[in-house]
Amino acid sequence: MSAEHCFFCQEALDALGKVIRLDGQEFKHLCRVLRAKVGDAVRLRDGAGGWAEGIVVEIGRDWAGIEVVECGRAADDRLPVTVILCRLKRDALELALHKLCEIGVSRVVPVECRRTVARSRGREARQQERWLALAISALKQSRGFYLTEIDGVHRDIASALSSLEQRTTGIVMQEHGAPPHLFDLLARMEAQGRIAVAVGPEGGFHHVELDRLHAAGFLSASLGSRVLRAETAVLVAGYLAGHFYYGKGR
């Protein structure tokens, strides 16, 4: 088995010789899918910067023991970007969440908008569990060190805005009204604090929501003349904002 495969664990990765117990889905992936054997090398992440290189030392019926042979703590590798994303239909939303976690934005803030089609229906706990699983999957895929934080769904734009950190520069993606291209807007911006990118549903934000975003200091930007689906626009905007802004800040 290749040591390139990465596994998530919630135990502290802080001591050489410590044996980490992998069970659940991580065990199934390690031993049922990859068919790991005693002596195989394994990479571990805790999602909060902790990392370890380990060796499989024992395999039980539904768990595996991984001995830590090297460990440390990484600097935060996430982009300093918060994405405010209108709640989309399930498949589109989960695709967007997984890819945003994969590119490493710091936080995603799902929100119910006036033009939202899909609505929460009392399954918030299961929904958060599923979204955490998506974030973990993306972390492993990308070999990242820090999990993207995914909020529960905010009831409206006002709630989403009130949750932002101070010194956050905001950009709202807008199809209509000829706003500047995101490239041009970022080139003029000063890198300070964090950045938030807001992406609405199909058809864009309602004018009342746009007014609230603009009142909060958000600047309008576009991604060009083509009309992108929300799950495409949010990924492109989040990636561009993160790398342009982060690069200027560093």
Give me the phi and psi of 83, to 5 degrees please: -110, 120
| Joined tokens for residue 212 | 């609230």
In the prediction, which pLDDT does 192 show? Answer: 67
- The Cα–Cα gap between 239 and 245 comes to 10
In the prediction, which pLDDT does 250 show? Answer: 45
Determine if residue 203 is left, alpha or beta; phi over 0 gives left, psi from -120 to 50 gives alpha, anything else beta. Answer: left
- Give the CA distances from residue 153 to residues 25, 97, 112, 123, 249, in Å, rounded to whole numbers and listed in that order: 26, 13, 7, 11, 30
- The Cα–Cα gap between 92 and 94 comes to 6
Q: What is the mean pLDDT of each run of 10 residues along the chain (250 residues)?
A: 77 90 93 93 95 95 95 94 93 95 96 79 81 95 95 95 90 84 84 85 91 95 89 92 65
| Joined tokens for residue 173 | 């993606």
Nearest in space to 46 (alpha carbons), one of 95, 8, 103, 82: 8
Domains and CATH numbers, the chain: 6-73 (2.40.240.20), 79-249 (3.40.1280.10)
Full DSSP string of 15-50: -TTPEEEEEHHHHIIIIIIS---TT-EEEEE-SBSE
Q: What amino acid occupies position 108?
A: V
In the prediction, which pLDDT does 120 show? Answer: 60
- The Cα–Cα gap between 227 and 37 comes to 50
In the prediction, which pLDDT does 193 show? Answer: 72
Helix segments in 38-155, DSSP class H? 90-103, 124-142
What pTM was computed for the model? 0.89
